[in-house]
Amino acid sequence: MSYKKNDKVVLKLGGHLLSNATGNFNIEYLKKLTPIIEYLKKSVEKLIIVVGGGQIARQYINTAYFFSRNNSSLDLLGIKVSHLNALLLSIITNNPPTSIPENLQDVINQTSYRNIIITGGFQPGQSTTTVSALIAEAISADLLIIATDVDGIYEKDPKKYPDAKLLTETTIDTLKKIFDKSIIEAGEYKLLDPYTLKILERSKIKTIIINGKNPGNIIKAIKGEKIGTLIKT
């Protein structure tokens, strides 16, 4: 499959990919990721990257949680960290660090004059995965790639159940059953949440969940190689 088919691509990069469990940035990983982003930028017409907050957001939220149980405030901490991650990615990929879009309108406005946009979370109560789905819907993306730290969607959490089977293809209805217990608490959004699934269901955006720990998988997804989990819409 040629790149032209997927000329508008939204990439959600799980925040957990950028840093390790102690919250230190994984420099070796970033060194592998940056040339891939450069390559993507040249290969597609529009590339929109949404990055999560990851372990560093988790640390902020856990610290604030000792003093506040206000999920909106805790989410704001995660959002700010995701924006810092977005700024970091902008700088290390040599993309002018203009203002990080803070809402859908900002993203839409920037698409008229930029071919790469890197952003993070939008507002409390909403995961960065939902943001990626909302952007994909808004710009009628050809492909949404959700890069996380496991090989795709399993029938159950592969970290809790090592015997869980990877689904190479799945449907929104199946996903609703798998992720129905996703708790919506700050920093606790699971791989997919009900809001994201609703947006994918109505927009019918082609979506693939891949393991981003090997950034080369992003290229494979764009090329149409069989990888991760394809959501049939």
Q: Provide the binding-site residues for ligand ADP, judged by CB under 6 A.
A: 14-16, 52, 54, 148-150, 153-154, 156-159, 178, 189-191
Assess contact for 206 and 142: CB atoms under 8 A: yes
Instruction: For residue 3, count CB atoms less than 10 angstroms from its CB and return exposed for 0-12, middle for 13-18, buried for 19 or more.
Output: middle
Q: Hunting for tokens 């959490």 — which residue is that?
A: 157
Q: How far apart are CA 186 and CA 81, in angstroms?
A: 13
Shortest separation between residue 80's beta carbon and ligand ADP, angstroms = 16
Shortest separation between residue 151's beta carbon and ligand ADP, angstroms = 8
Please say which residue, 142 or 151, places its beta carbon nearer to Mg ion. Answer: 151
Please say which residue, 111 or 134, places its beta carbon nearer to ligand ADP. Answer: 134
Residue, CB closest to ligand ADP: 14
Q: How many beta carbons lie within 10 A of that of residue 63, not counting itself? A: 10
Q: 169 is written with which tokens?
A: 């293809």
CA distance readout (Å), 29 to 17, 34, 84, 87, 123: 8, 9, 17, 17, 28
Please say which residue, 85 or 95, places its beta carbon nearer to ligand ADP. Answer: 85
Q: How far apart are CA 186 and CA 189, in angstroms?
A: 7
Shortest separation between residue 51's beta carbon and ligand ADP, angstroms = 9
Please say which residue, 106 or 149, places its beta carbon nearer to ligand ADP. Answer: 149
Shortest separation between residue 132's beta carbon and ligand ADP, angstroms = 10
Choose from ligand ADP, Mg ion, none: what does 15 bind? Cβ within 5-8 Å by kind.
ligand ADP
Please say which residue, 95 or 195, places its beta carbon nearer to Mg ion. Answer: 195
Shortest separation between residue 33's beta carbon and ligand ADP, angstroms = 14
Residue, CB closest to Mg ion: 189
CA distance readout (Å), 146 to 13, 50, 62: 6, 9, 25
| Binding region for Mg ion (CB under 5 A) out of 58-66, 104-112, 185-193, 197-205 | 185-193
Shortest separation between residue 112's beta carbon and ligand ADP, angstroms = 29
For binding to Mg ion (CB under 5 A), which residues are involved?
A: 189
